[in-house]
Amino acid sequence: MTYSPALFGAHDPAPEGPDDLRVQRERQIATLNAAYRHHSATDVLKGALSALGNTTLVSSFGAESVVLLHMVAVSNKHLPILFIDTQMLFTETLVYQQELTERLGLSNVQIIRAQDSAARDPDGTLHRQDTDACCVLRKTRPLEDALAPYDSWITGRKRFQSGTRAALEFFELEEATLRIKINPLAHWAPADVTAYMEENRLPRHPLVAQGYPSIGCAPCTSPVKIGEDPRAGRWRNQGKEECGIHFVNGRAVRIGAST
């Protein structure tokens, strides 16, 4: 983990160890949450980019991703954006990623792929045998490696997505890495997402109109029927809800919607 002076007070010494780093980051998070408690998502994002320094956005370029991507484009078109290409995504997602990147003028989208997928899953059937192992190989581990240089990262998580996120704050500590997670949309409702897209005339992912309100890898994503939970089409009938990129108390958790 690198040390970014902007993350701490101007006169604070660099942390000497994990415990010292934890204390300083918890203090910074508490200060930021208090300062931005009643602010908009845009204010939270701008404040985070100003105060935290070494930050990246992780985006799936999925059903709701365009909201944060647009906010970032307005604030800083050069911000590093990590896009995990599992090499099993829908063609529509890959095309959407390219089109949005160009349309929004994003200059630092980094496409991350697993380096050993060909060796460990040569015929592309691992997902049929063990979906968790496939997610670790193609998404979780590549993302962990890509996030290593950063002190903080921006997510699209929201309180309404699940009970475990009901008390989600704008800023939180990632226990496993002591990295700060920034959740500008934490307080948004589904109607806020729709309104922002419409007001800014942002293009939706093409699969949304085909019944895919939550979009992941093609083999493990199916259309959702009217009345079903928006994530019912992810790993359908497999008792799995999350790829594992979010952590609580150092452990991957299976909760709500994607990044």
Q: Which residues are known to be catalytic?
A: 243
As a whole number of angstroms, the distance between CA 124 and CA 118 comes to 8
Q: What is the DSSP string of 194-242?
A: HHHHHHTTPPPPTTGGGT-SS--BGGGB----TTS-TTTTBTTTTT---
User: At CA 136, angle to CA 29 and CA 158, rounded to 5?
Assistant: 40
Give the strand pairing for 251-252 and 247-248: antiparallel
Asked if 120 contacts 126 with a C-beta cutoff of 8 angstroms, the reply is: yes
Query: CA–CA separation, 189 vs 166, rounded Å?
Result: 12
The half-sphere exposure of 83 on its side-chain side, counting CA atoms within 13 A, is 24
Q: Which of 249, 245, 215 is nearest to 112 (CA)?
A: 245
Residue among 220, 70, 30 nearest 154 (CA): 70
Beta-carbon contacts of residue 45 (< 8 Å; ≥ 6 apart): 68, 71, 72, 75, 154, 182, 184
Token look-up 């259309």 returns 223
DSSP class of residue 12 equals P
